[in-house]
């Protein structure tokens, strides 16, 4: 596996592409009084041009309570069918930005909030990445499989993918 660190615009574009294609990530918050993270699946609403990742969620959730105590978050995205993985550590910022709620509102979100867009518990979560690392293959899954098999048979090392830091 080769290393390919990406910076600035390239890093943001890679982050956007991966998050948009995978969609659901496991968001980890860090509750006070425990050594273990609390993780839940979250569907992203947007990755903006600065690399921030936006979500809608509820003020009644454990995640909201944890973020009131500790703004640090981790989120991981995994697409095992294409061998693409992304790990992000950063900070979470919670708001009630009505314009963003309106922008992100859709039928899927409506299922989570019985009172609609006016639900007083709707919150916006903005994750600002501090560090990110990705792993992906350079080709499709079938080609990767054959490269791994060829490496096993011949004993030679083949470049089956890449990994690197995303410096946003």
Quickly count helices (H) and strands (E) in the chain: 5, 10
Cα maximum dimension of the chain: 63
Each domain of the chain, given as residue ranges in start order, spans 2-167
pTM across the whole model = 0.86
CATH assignment of 2-167, among 2.120.10.80, 2.40.30.10, 2.30.110.10, 3.40.50.720? 2.30.110.10
Q: How far from the centroid of its chain's Cα atoms is residue 133's Cα? A: 11
Per-residue pLDDT tens digits for 75-93: 999 998 888 999 999 999 9
* H or E segment to which residue 66 belongs: helix 62-69
- Give the span between the Cα atoms of 41 and 49, in whole angstroms: 23
The one-character DSSP state at 134 is E
Q: What is the pLDDT tens value at each position of the chain, 168 positions in all?
A: 789 999 999 999 999 999 999 999 999 999 999 999 999 999 999 999 999 999 999 999 999 999 999 999 999 999 988 889 999 999 999 999 999 999 999 998 999 998 999 999 999 999 999 999 999 986 655 444 544 444 455 565 655 688 999 999
């Amino acid at each position: 596996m080769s290393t390919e660190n990406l910076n600035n615009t390239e890093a943001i574009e890679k982050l956007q592409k991966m998050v948009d294609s995978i969609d659901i990530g496991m968001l980890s918050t860090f509750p006070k009084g425990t050594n273990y993270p609390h993780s839940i699946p979250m569907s992203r609403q947007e990755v903006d041009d600065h690399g921030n990742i936006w979500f809608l969620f509820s003020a009644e959730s454990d995640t909201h309570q944890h973020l009131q105590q500790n703004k640090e978050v981790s989120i991981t995205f995994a697409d095992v069918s294409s061998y693409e993985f992304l790990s992000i550590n950063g900070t979470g910022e919670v708001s009630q930005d009505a314009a963003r709620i309106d922008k992100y509102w859709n039928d899927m979100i409506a299922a989570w909030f019985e009172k609609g867009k006016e639900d007083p518990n709707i919150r916006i979560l903005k994750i600002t990445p501090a560090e990110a690392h990705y792993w992906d293959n350079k080709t499709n899954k079938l080609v990767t499989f054959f490269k791994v098999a060829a490496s096993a048979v011949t004993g030679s090392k083949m470049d089956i993918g890449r990994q690197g830091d995303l410096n946003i």
